[in-house]
Amino acid sequence: MTRSDDLFAHAQTLMPGGVNSPVRAFGSVGGTPRFMVSAKGAYLTDADGKDYVDLVCSWGPALLGHAHPAVLDAVHAAVDRGLSFGASTPDEARLAELVKERVSAVERLRMVSTGTEATMTAVRLARGFTGRNLIVKFAGCYHGHLDGLLAAAGSGLATMALPGSAGVTEAAAAETLVLPYNDLDAVEAAFSAHGEHIAAVITEAAPANMGVVTPGEGFNAALSRITREHGALLILDEVLTGFRTGYAGYWGLTGATEGWTPDLLTFGKVIGGGMPTAALGGRADVMDYLAPLGPVYQAGTLSGNPVAMAAGVATLTHATPEVYSFVDGRSLELSAALSSALDAAGVDHSIQRAGNLFSVAFGTSANGVHNYAEAQAQDVFRYAPFFHSMLDSGVYLPPSVFEAWFLSAAHDDAAMNRIFDALPAAAKAAAQ
Ligand code: PLP
């Protein structure tokens, strides 16, 4: 019995499934989830004192590596000034300014505490602004656990093979049109049939919750055009991609140069540097529909929390263009090494990529994965033995094939070499 075994057994008597977020339970890979006690740079240390090179990075936030000294200093200094004031603070505007400087599509920003709150508010705001009810989402895109967007939502639902969630009313589900990803004909058809009732299309800037899927050339640009033609809004969900795939997020890599602009964007993860902060932003005329200026209500006891703001400001300040070049390079090296190890073991696969985000899909080399149906049709069973072989070698992968692999600025040569050394055995395990 390991300490993690004991902790998991105890946790299961106290919390549903022993966890506070489903994928942490290792449901689809089996075995005992490792209970972590500390994190530094590229490494996590579990309750048994074993360390792992971390390829989850807190599901995205740890872009600079865990416990980056500048972020910790900023957080310690903020903690010393008090934990929460329930009033406005100077750092909120500082963080909003940093976001605006990087993402020109953001004219106004509202801080919230989680990505779910950001997308939930963006959806309500789109409905309030347009006076329409319907929301279009894509199968396999995850936008958090708000009722209306849980249909075919990828992420944990994909991991558990659930079509949606119990407890979502038919009325809430009926106001969401779920379309296949990368299918513009389906989008055009939905707008032809229901255009005057559609408030918004929400899409992940690049999907990373059904594994990574590359948006087809011009797909996001076409969504921008179609929504504009029909008086609907485009909500670009950058909770996962924002400030991770590049200095100005995934939109900065694509839309900003292609000449289209989303009406609203949502951010989370990196923006809080590991503290609970997220945000929505976009066109000033739309954002000003939020209370106190406008009629769409939204609020939060801990919104703009001073400790979280300090972490966010320090993280974005240190997330320089050099950090992104470094992470981009590491991502290419790792995906190439992964692919050669799988080739050498004779495991059919495709590397799914969007900017520096990537994941592996098994049995998909012929065409790759372009949508949720293709993601679900892969050889999912190959991932669990692959995952456990890597874990035994001290590499902590996402415990689901439907998640992206996350790197950081702290993944130095020693960390990368441990991963490279672990790959051949894991690839052989996947081959069985
Ligand atoms: N949107 C996307 C694209 C996400 O990946 C996530 C979480 O993984 C969310 C929204 C929800 O964010 P949170 O888990 O902070 O509620």
Whether residue 52 has its Cβ less than 6 Å from ligand 1: no
Distance CA 232, CA 249 (A): 23
User: How much is the average pLDDT of 104-133?
Assistant: 98
> 161 pLDDT exceeds 70?
no
Between vectors from CA 332 to CA 412 and to CA 384, what angle results, nearest 5°?
A: 85
pLDDT score recorded for residue 290? 98
pLDDT in tens, 3-26: 999 999 999 999 999 999 999 999
Residues of the chain within CATH 3.40.640.10 domain(s) are: 69-318
Tell me the best of 23, 59, 112, 116 to mutate to test the pocket of ligand 1, counting ligand atoms within 8 Å of each CB and taking the most: 116
Residues of the chain within CATH 3.90.1150.10 domain(s) are: 3-67+320-431
Q: Is 348 a catalytic residue?
A: no
Q: Is 269 a catalytic residue?
A: yes
By CB atoms closer than 10 A (0-12, 13-18, 19+), residue 367 is exposed
Distance CA 327, CA 273 (A): 16
- Label residue 168 by pLDDT band (50, 70, 90): confident
Give the residue whose CA is nearest to atom 13 of ligand 1. 115
pLDDT score recorded for residue 18? 96
Tokens of 135: 């929301």
Least confidently predicted of 106-120, 245-259, 370-384, 405-419: 245-259
Q: Which candidate in 269, 324, 396, 428 is catalytic?
A: 269
Distance CA 95, CA 89 (A): 11
Q: Which of helix, strand or coil describes residue 300?
A: coil
Among the atoms of ligand 1, which is closest to the Cα of residue 238? 3
Distance CA 27, CA 94 (A): 41
> 303 pLDDT exceeds 90?
yes
The architecture CATH gives domain 69-318: 3-Layer(aba) Sandwich (3.40)
Least confidently predicted of 113-122, 197-206, 251-260, 308-317: 251-260
Whether residue 250 has its Cβ less than 6 Å from ligand 1: no
- Which strand (E) or helix (H) includes residue 301? none
Contact 144, 137 (CB under 8 A): no
Q: How remote is the CA of residue 272 from the centroid of ligand 1, in Å?
A: 13
Q: Is 237 a catalytic residue?
A: yes
Question: If you ran DSSP here, which 8-state letter would residue 32 be given?
Answer: P
> 154 pLDDT exceeds 80?
no
Distance CA 385, CA 380 (A): 10
Tokens of 53: 């090179």
pLDDT score recorded for residue 171? 84
Q: Largest alpha-carbon pair distance within the chain?
A: 61
Q: Which candidate in 43, 91, 137, 142 is catalytic?
A: 142
Among the atoms of ligand 1, which is closest to the Cα of residue 117? 16
User: How much is the average pLDDT of 286-315?
Assistant: 98
By CB atoms closer than 10 A (0-12, 13-18, 19+), residue 1 is exposed
> 256 pLDDT exceeds 70?
yes
> 395 pLDDT exceeds 70?
yes
Tokens of 229: 């033609």
> 158 pLDDT exceeds 80?
no
> 90 pLDDT exceeds 90?
yes
> 57 pLDDT exceeds 80?
yes
Distance CA 10, CA 118 (A): 33
Q: Which candidate in 46, 54, 91, 237 is catalytic?
A: 237
Phi first, then psi: what are they for 281, rounded to 5°? -155, 175
Task: Select from 3.40.50.300, 1.10.260.40, 3.30.420.40, 3.90.1150.10 the CATH code of 3-67+320-431.
Answer: 3.90.1150.10
pLDDT in tens, 189-222: 999 999 999 999 999 999 999 999 999 999 999 9
